[in-house]
Amino acid sequence: MALDDLKSALPDYAKDLKLNLGSVIGNSDLPKQQLWGSVLACALASRSGIVLRALEPEAKENLSEEAYTAAKSAAAIMAMNNVFYRTRHLLSDPEYGTMRAGLRMNVIGNPGVDKTDFELWSLAVSAINGCGMCLDSHEQVLRKAGVDRDTIQEAFKIASVIQAVGATLESEAQLAG
């Protein structure tokens, strides 16, 4: 199993990450599509080839073709949106917030899967990319759709662990390199 290989690759000093990785994926209460869509979107957002190569095959096995594509779409569109909206928010000139974005984001309105799942994946990717504006927006949409805080927190727990695992393994690869 690739998850076990990924956990085994973590150095001893990252034992907490190893345990957390097993927990957030192996013991998650999320439905299978929400879990594996979050895992795939976060693996992509982590920018770690090691993590992506380890987790993508199992994600593909656990997702329908539509969900697999939608999770990848969430990672792609949020890579753009997180930079755009984070920058807009960080600039001290409020006029940028009134300007038309002028960026295509059609996949958000028609992701090809349940909108709640796509929003959850977008929130998880936004956590990795550090966009508070996008986090607030996706959290509000999810809460209005009746998603509880435990489910939302589960998504950003997955994001935090996958991001940390990727950073650790990529750093170790550079040190060994």
> How buried is 148 (Cβ within 10 angstroms: 0-12 exposed, 13-18 middle, 19+ buried)?
exposed
Contact status, residue 89 vs residue 139, Cβ threshold 8 Å: no
From the candidates 21, 108, 131, 161, which is the catalytic residue? 131
Query: What is the residue whose two structure tokens read 């928010």?
Result: 89
> How buried is 32 (Cβ within 10 angstroms: 0-12 exposed, 13-18 middle, 19+ buried)?
exposed
| 134 noted as active-site residue | yes
From the candidates 134, 152, 158, 169, which is the catalytic residue? 134
Q: Note the helical H segments in the chain.
A: 2-9, 15-26, 32-45, 49-62, 65-90, 106-109, 115-129, 132-144, 149-176
Residues acting as catalytic residues:
131, 134
